[in-house]
Amino acid sequence: MLPPPRPGLVRGLGTWDGALLTIGSIVGTGIFLTTSDMARVLPHAGLILGVWLAGGLLTLAGALTYGELGAMFPRAGGMYHYLREAYGPLWGFLFGWAAFLVIMSGGIAALGVAFGTYLASFLPFVSIKAGACLAILVLTAINHLGLKEGAGVQNTLTVLKIGSIVALVALGLLAPAPSKADLAAPLGIAGGALLTAFGVAMIAALWTYDGWYGLTCSAGELRDPGKSLPRGLILGTGIVIVLYMLLNLVYIRVLTVPEMAGASRIGEAAAGVLFGPTGARLVSLAILVSTFGCLSATILYSSRIYLPMAEDGVFFHSLAEVHPRFRTPVRSLWAQTAWALLLTLSGTYEQLYTYVVFVSVMFHAATAAAVIVLRRTRPDHPRPYRTWGYPVIPALFILASLLLVGNTLLEKPVESLLGLGLLALGLPAYLWFRKRTAAESGE
């Protein structure tokens, strides 16, 4: 008698679930902090808005590009599948290796610590690391219990964070306040210095938009991925662009550029000017909710990367297990959390994360190029959605990614090379997994 088929992931997410997951994956603490970093390198209100718009449009170009790949390969794992299909199994594995080792697990640790930091400001008796670990464990347990439970919590948190940003924007634009920043002020810098400053500010904006691709990792749980995946990606990204632009209009309306540059927590500083200490405190609470929501989204989608790797025999076999009742990748989920907790407690995530920034952007450039590669190598493969503006849109995203790769290599050469070293450690691991799988299959 044949054994019963193994349970798979349940396809229970629709377009709006996808859009909310995209928003939740992007919006964390960055939008409440990053503009102050921009103002220090690019001291011009109009150009700061221009950076946020340019960064948003480039992110949208990425979403338009990844939408085609997600519709072509509607399975859990996202970039793992796209790189494997375009360039071979090694490249898919190297992405998954880097994701597990640092990119995703380190991101979870970083978000956990950010949550713990804000939680400690409300509950001083809770240490930052304890708050971080508790948040990671609670959200992992919720996602263990099923897609409905995990997505339900995620959607609720995303609606709350959208509501808090909309409220801050509405009050910030309607409340009496002097318009301090001049959008048409003289530039003060020109030529190469201006381009360099714009580029540095663009990096900050793109990192704040990061996470937009998270939905592709959950494609195996979308009801109609050919339609709902590209729609969810594009809709969610578009909403975030609008929210970010409006929130920055509030900052510019309330604060001068020097004030923005001097306010490390610009969201709280703007609310403090408008509404006093109580307003600043409410923004801190909004950031707490926003960070918790971003952490929830990251835990949900990133755990789906390791399931297909294990199924393909290039990762630990046990991580291929899907819970027979809850239909979630429980072992991938908890293995990811165990490593993220270790990174959190050791404090090494921050340094490791700087190492893989270079590698992460390289993977994005290669993934976008996969659309072009697969158009040539698999012209007859079903494409329920085709990238709008092809090949210009993918080319723009690839170019922007390569410029970021070059800038990162110039600005942080040691960290970039160490990141490549961490990636190279995946080569012997890949060979070992392939050898073990071959031995077990009798080849």
Q: Which domains does the chain have, with CATH numbers?
A: 15-79+107-330 (1.20.1740.10)
Given the structure tokens 């578009």, which residue do they identify? 238
- Distance, CA of 340 to CA of 324 (rounded, Å): 25
Q: What is the pLDDT of residue 5?
A: 46
Q: What is the CA radius of gyration of the chain?
A: 22
Assigned token pair, 178: 């002097």
Of 211, 212, 216, nearest to 73 (Cα)? 216
Helices H / strands E in the chain, number of each: 20, 0
- Distance, CA of 318 to CA of 304 (rounded, Å): 14
pTM recorded for the entire structure = 0.92
Interhelix angle 128-144/330-346, rounded to 10 degrees, is 180
- Distance, CA of 392 to CA of 385 (rounded, Å): 16
Given the structure tokens 């054994």, which residue do they identify? 3
Q: DSSP 3-state assignment of 33? A: coil
Q: DSSP 3-state assignment of 428? A: helix
Dihedral angle sign, alpha carbons of residues 345, 351, 353, 359? negative
Alpha carbon distances (Å) from 182 to 45, 49, 203, 254, 260? 6, 12, 24, 11, 13
* Phi-psi category of residue 351: left, alpha or beta, with phi > 0 → left and psi -120 to 50 → alpha: alpha
Longest dimension (CA), the chain: 79
Q: DSSP string of 138-167?
A: HHHHHHHT-HHHHHHHHHHHHHHHHHHHHH
Q: DSSP 3-state assignment of 411? A: helix
Residues sharing a CB contact under 8 Å with residue 159, sequence separation 6 or more, in sequence order:
20
Assigned token pair, 362: 């390289």
- Distance, CA of 332 to CA of 342 (rounded, Å): 16
Q: What is the pLDDT of residue 412?
A: 79
Of 228, 249, 245, 329, nearest to 20 (Cα)? 228
pLDDT, tens digit only, all 443 positions of the chain: 334 445 677 777 889 899 999 999 999 888 998 999 899 988 888 999 999 999 999 999 999 999 999 999 999 899 999 999 999 999 999 999 999 998 999 889 989 999 999 999 899 999 999 999 999 999 999 999 988 888 889 899 999 999 999 999 998 888 876 666 667 666 666 667 787 788 888 888 888 998 999 999 998 889 899 999 999 999 999 999 999 999 999 999 889 888 999 988 899 999 998 888 888 899 999 999 999 999 999 999 999 999 999 999 999 999 999 998 999 999 999 999 999 999 999 887 777 777 777 888 899 999 999 999 999 999 999 999 999 999 999 999 999 888 888 877 877 788 888 889 989 999 999 999 999 988 887 65
Q: Is the peptide bond before 329 cis (omega within 30 degrees of 0)?
A: no
Q: What is the pLDDT of residue 207?
A: 83
- Distance, CA of 129 to CA of 406 (rounded, Å): 34
- Distance, CA of 216 to CA of 219 (rounded, Å): 5
Residues sharing a CB contact under 8 Å with residue 351, sequence separation 6 or more, in sequence order:
none
CB atoms near residue 149 (< 10 Å): 15
Assigned token pair, 397: 């995203």
